[in-house]
């Protein structure tokens, strides 16, 4: 268990950049109707199991760096200090443009930020953005930088198409078990998000990043496995990477709940908050599987949770911060509200973060 406590770190700004195109669960199921018929699966099962009505989609030609840059531009338009203070940029998406260079370098260059800092990719499945927040907050708290940017741009269109192709090509041979391991891929959605953290000495917003706790349960690293995250391979002439993801949904959800049950008491002790003290909870937006029983296992109440998965799908590493940004705009968060972010990522890893709004 790793514990982090911050005295001087503020969230200065955050923004999302979202696709305009929606792909409904009904449209997804229409495409593999022959498979449903073969296996005797009722139409509507995908939405019933996941709670996801729509997911947002880009075309495969849209690179992660492009959409991450757009989110970052929106966030930087909202900061109240000079951009000269921005000395770190971390890209935290699962999807990346290339094997090299780092997608962070591409975003940094498009934003026109100076050479006197650092850029790098931080990749850790759906948990990457939370890890990026920790890395940047530690640099700010220790005095290395005054401010920096965390970005994540996810384009899952290729994995959706590959999953469609795999399932339809094997209609005559695919088993129910194999189909259920591929089905979670169709809960995924696209999106981009950016956040600016800074030292309190230059902050113009009161939102304090207070503390975080991290824990890894790597004995569960085989429960969700995906390949092919380099988007340039999908648009290069004559090149196909054919990415796929397979997930044991039941086991990964139950394992995540047990992991969260170990992390929350640590954070509660670290910051002196009880579950009753919390004003808002934002969890990784995987779907309605993270329901009442999941939160009870962790010792929390889902009545304080704000969700966007029904509209956006599971946006991978962008999911949790997108829920926070959307909640900022829609939920009426007040000064002094205690906010909990419960981040999870296959591996299995968790980071729980506390914010005082």
DSSP 3-state of 135: helix
Range of the domain at 214: 209-225+246-356
pLDDT, tens only, 22-76: 999 999 999 988 888 888 888 998 999 899 999 999 998 999 999 999 999 999 9
CA dist 199 and 162 (Å) reads: 44
Residue 236 pLDDT class (50, 70, 90 cuts): low
Q: Cβ atoms within 10 A of the Cβ of 78, count?
A: 13
Percent of the chain with pLDDT over 70: 97
The DSSP symbol for 41 reads P
Q: What total number of domains does the chain contain?
A: 1
Range in 198-207, 208-217, 288-297 the model is least confident about:
288-297
Structure tokens at 277: 């003290």
Could you tell me if residue 336 is inside a domain?
yes
The per-residue pLDDT for 250 is 86
Mean of the pLDDT values across residues 201-226?
A: 95
Number of separate helices (H) and strands (E) present in the chain: 13, 14
Distance in angstroms between the alpha carbons of the first and the last residue of the chain: 26
Number of residues that this document lists for the chain: 357
> For the chain, what is the mean pLDDT?
93
pLDDT, tens only, 130-149: 999 999 999 999 999 999 99
Is 198 within 8 Å of 147 (Cβ atoms)? Answer: yes
Could you tell me if residue 144 is inside a domain?
no
In the predicted structure, residue 329 carries a pLDDT above the cut 60: yes
DSSP 3-state of 340: strand
| CA neighbor of 195 nearest in space, from 132, 143, 138, 135 | 132
- CATH number, residue 221: 3.40.47.10
- 169: Cβ contacts below 8 Å, ≥ 6 apart: none
Mean of the pLDDT values across residues 325-348?
A: 95
| CA neighbor of 213 nearest in space, from 354, 339, 7 | 354
Instruction: Check: pTM over 0.85? Answer yes or no.
Output: yes
Could you tell me if residue 71 is inside a domain?
no
CA dist 334 and 352 (Å) reads: 21
Residue 249 pLDDT class (50, 70, 90 cuts): confident
pLDDT, tens only, 74-128: 999 999 999 999 999 999 999 999 999 999 999 999 999 999 999 999 999 999 9
Could you tell me if residue 269 is inside a domain?
yes
DSSP 3-state of 114: coil
Could you tell me if residue 264 is inside a domain?
yes
Could you tell me if residue 45 is inside a domain?
no
Could you tell me if residue 67 is inside a domain?
no
Could you tell me if residue 257 is inside a domain?
yes
Mean of the pLDDT values across residues 202-224?
A: 95
In the predicted structure, residue 166 carries a pLDDT above the cut 80: yes
The per-residue pLDDT for 179 is 82
Helices 319-330 and 128-141 meet at what angle, rounded to 10?
A: 80
pLDDT, tens only, 34-46: 888 888 888 998 9
The per-residue pLDDT for 39 is 85
Q: Report CA dihedral (56, 57, 62, 64) to the nearest 10 degrees.
A: 50
| CA neighbor of 317 nearest in space, from 162, 71, 91 | 91
């Amino acid at each position: 268990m790793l514990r982090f406590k911050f005295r001087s770190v503020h969230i200065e700004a955050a923004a999302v950049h979202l696709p305009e195109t929606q792909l409904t669960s009904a449209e997804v199921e229409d495409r593999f109707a022959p498979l449903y018929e073969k296996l005797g699966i009722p139409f509507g099962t995908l939405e019933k199991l996941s709670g996801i009505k729509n997911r947002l989609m880009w075309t495969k030609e849209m690179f992660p760096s492009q959409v991450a840059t757009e989110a970052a531009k929106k966030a930087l338009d909202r900061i109240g200090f000079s951009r000269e203070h921005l000395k770190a940029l971390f890209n935290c998406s699962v999807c990346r443009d290339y094997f090299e260079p780092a997608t962070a370098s591409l975003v940094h260059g498009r934003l026109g930020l100076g050479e006197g800092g650092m850029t790098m990719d931080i990749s850790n499945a759906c948990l990457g953005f939370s890890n990026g927040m920790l890395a940047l907050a530690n640099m700010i708290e220790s005095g290395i930088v005054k401010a920096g940017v965390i970005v994540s741009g996810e384009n899952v269109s290729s994995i959706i198409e590959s999953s469609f192709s795999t399932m339809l090509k094997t209609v005559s041979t695919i088993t129910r078990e194999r189909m259920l391991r591929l089905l979670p891929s169709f809960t995924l959605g696209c999106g981009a998000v950016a956040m600016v953290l800074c030292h309190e000495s230059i902050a113009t917003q009161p939102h304090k990043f207070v503390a975080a706790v991290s824990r890894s349960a790597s004995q569960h690293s085989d429960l969700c496995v995906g390949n092919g995250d380099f988007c340039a391979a999908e648009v290069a002439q004559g090149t196909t990477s054919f990415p796929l993801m397979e997930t044991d949904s039941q086991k990964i959800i139950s394992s995540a709940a047990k992991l969260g049950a170990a992390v929350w008491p640590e954070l509660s002790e670290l910051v002196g908050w009880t579950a009753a003290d919390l004003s808002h909870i934002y969890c990784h937006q995987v779907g309605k599987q993270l329901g009442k029983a999941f939160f009870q296992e962790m010792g929390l109440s889902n009545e304080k949770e704000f969700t966007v998965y029904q509209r956006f799908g599971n946006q991978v590493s962008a999911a949790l911060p997108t829920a926070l940004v959307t909640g900022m705009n829609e939920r009426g968060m007040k000064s002094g509200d205690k906010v909990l972010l419960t981040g999870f990522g296959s591996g299995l890893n968790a980071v729980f973060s506390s914010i005082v709004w």
